[in-house]
Structure 1
Amino acid sequence: MAQRYLNGDTLDPYKLKAIEDVASIWRERLMDISWFMRCLNESVARQANTEDKCTGRFWEGRFKSQALLDEKALAACMAYVDLNPIRANMAKTPEDSDHTSIQQRIRASILDEQPKELLPLVGGERLNMPKGLPFRLDHYLELVDWSGRHLDPRKRGAIAENTPPILERLGIPPRHWLYLSRNFESRFKGLVGSAEAVRHACRRLNKRWVHGIRDCRCYLSATPC
């Protein structure tokens, strides 16, 4: 019926109603990240199971969808993701970590450029600010490199003498940043940001409670614990 409708054929009213109902479901699925991940997971699992001649899930757990409410949450999440290959011992340095945005930014920075595929890092907020992320590129690269060095178990708990400037600007103590760079995915499930930003989002979304609010208050607020 859908093909006939697209070809301009005249359809009975009940058939048009059926097409509208199906189209409504398709629209919801196109906007639903959970449905997208379900389809993606299934196709990847089928291909991997065929290659490995086995059955079961490809990924251990479900995906997480987190709303980043301010630049503190954004910086913590970006660094956490960019350090995944190093955390998994698949790379020794950020510039060697394949399939990461940090590698793309480093390669572009060598040519004094920023990657066209990624939103640029444009520095702190100011008048006539260009579109981009509110961090300086050199500060972010230094921050990720510094965080990566502290993922080494032999150096766990040590604090570098020269704290990256971006931490001072964001108002995050170094020991709190190290906690975020190690535990971002496990500690935050939904809304991520300062306690004030999370409360504002809860009021807007009519939510009475959100997982991780204590960590948001402790590690991402103006007066951390």
Structure 2
Amino acid sequence: MTQARSQQVCLEATSYYHCVSRCVRRTFLCGYDEQSQTSYEHRRGWIQSRIKQLSQIFCIDICAYAVMSNHYHVVVHINQQQAKALSDFDVIERWSQLHTKPVLIQRLLSNQIKSVAELNAANEIVEQWRERLYSLSWFMRELNFDIAMKANREEDCKGHFWESRYKSQALLDDKALLAAMAYTDLNPIRAGTAKRSETSDYTSVQDRLNALNRDQHTAPCLHPFVGSSTNDMLAGIPFRLMDYLELVDWTGRQLRQGKARINPELPPLLERLSLTQQEWLKVCTQLEKQRATLVGGKASFPSVLIKMQRHRMCGYQLG
């Protein structure tokens, strides 16, 4: 049975989530359709641009993404604290980049509100928008609706473009976060459309590598790596970027066809996460197949179930 989104997203349990959206029609999201002899490659740019645009509007950080032929992946960090710290003006300015301001909000900005009732109503709207700015459902809704509208206009048709709603997995700890990011970044290599990370177009790992080539510490619009979860001065992914890139490269070599030799050296990052090579390669190929709504180490599950007020949930345990 499908679970309500409110039961799958619990910020008290975790602020990290892996989401996937797939097309409902035979028509490609992107790529080249041999049957109709039509290229939809340009749509990859639509999705990539929209993800980056929304990351600047919503208080939701992009950890990883990959745009494939009939689906896309995105790993996000929901920054509730940032949303709550925004001023009312900032909230209005952000939300107005997506939707037209109602008359009441226009009057609020121009200091034309005279009654307490109108002021209270305007404040309620602003607070509703604030909650939406850190809502995963609203983020995915704005992303998918925009792409569906463009695709339907391009194909001159109506109806659903996406397969039901998006699927999400709660990432309970560092192991789960790293696994979901690597799983996402390695999608083109597993699919055989790219041979290495540098040529994996429309992925976050390519963005990070391009940023390094430009001597930039962080790729634009992507959540940065800060090196350690104990670094309270910086907000970001609790690993070193170079460790992550090295691990993704090593994993890609094992997943690539024609690579019979397994590197005997265990990547140091796996040692710190207490994961074996076999466990790591399994999660980097089967994360979605597990149909899990929770992903994390065994020790992470008991407390999370209490926070989510559930006795049991479909989970994928790492290590």
Does residue 137 of the first structure (1) align with residue 241 of the second (2)?
yes
Match of 1:187 in 2: 290
TM-score, normalised with respect to structure 2? 0.56
The answer to whether the 8 Å contact 1:104/1:115 transfers is: no
How far the C-alpha of 1:187 sits from its partner, in A, is 2.3
Paired residues in the alignment total: 214
Which one-letter code corresponds to 2:249 in the other structure?
Answer: D
User: Is the aligned partner of 1:53 residue 2:156?
Assistant: yes
AA of the residue aligned to 2:243:
H
Shift of 1:79: 0.4
Cα gap change, 1:91 to 1:125, in 2 (>3 Å)? same
Higher share of residues assigned strand: 2
Asked whether the 8 Å contact 1:66–1:190 carries over to 2, the reply is: yes
What residue is the counterpart of 2:193 in the other structure?
Answer: 90
What TM-score comes out, normalization by structure 1 length? 0.75
2:251 paired residue among 122, 126, 147: 147
Structure 2 gap ranges (5+): 1-102
> Which letter does structure 2 place at the counterpart of 1:67?
A
Tell whether the 8 Å contact from 1:122 to 1:134 is kept in structure 2 after alignment: yes
Amino acid across the alignment from 2:239: F
| Larger gyration radius, structure 1 or structure 2 | 1
Which shifted more, 19-28 or 40-49? 19-28
Contact kept, 8 Å, 1:108 with 1:114, in 2: the verdict is yes
The 1:109–1:58 alpha-carbon spacing in structure 2 relative to 1, beyond 3 Å, is same
Q: Which amino acid aligns with 1:82?
A: D
| Structure 1 Cα separation of the partners of residues 154 and 259 of structure 2 | 40
Amino acid at match of 1:135: F
Structure with the larger helix share: 1
* Partners of 1:116 and 1:21 in 2: CA distance: 36
Q: Aligned to 1:182, what secondary structure does the other structure show? A: helix
**AA in 2 matched with 1:146:** W
- Are 1:159 and 1:174, in contact at CA under 8 Å, matched by a contact in 2? no
User: Identity over the aligned pairs, expressed in percent?
Assistant: 44
Residues 62 and 84 (structure 1 numbering): CA distance in 2 closer, same or farther, change over 3 Å?
Answer: farther
**Of 202, 207, 215, which residue of structure 2 is paired with 1:104?**
207
Structure 2 CA distance for aligned equivalents of residues 190 and 142 of structure 1? 28
CA contact 1:64–1:189 (8 Å) conserved in 2: no
Residue of structure 2 in register with 1:208 after alignment: 311
Matches within 5 A, 1:7-18: 7-10=110-113
Gaps of 5+ in 1: none
Partner residue, 1:172 = 275
CA RMSD of aligned residues (A): 3.2
User: Is contact 1:79-1:144 (8 Å) kept?
Assistant: yes
Change (3 A) 1:57 1:151: farther
Give the secondary structure class of the aligned counterpart of 2:163: coil
Deviation for aligned residue 1:199: 1.6
DSSP 3-state at the match of 1:185: coil
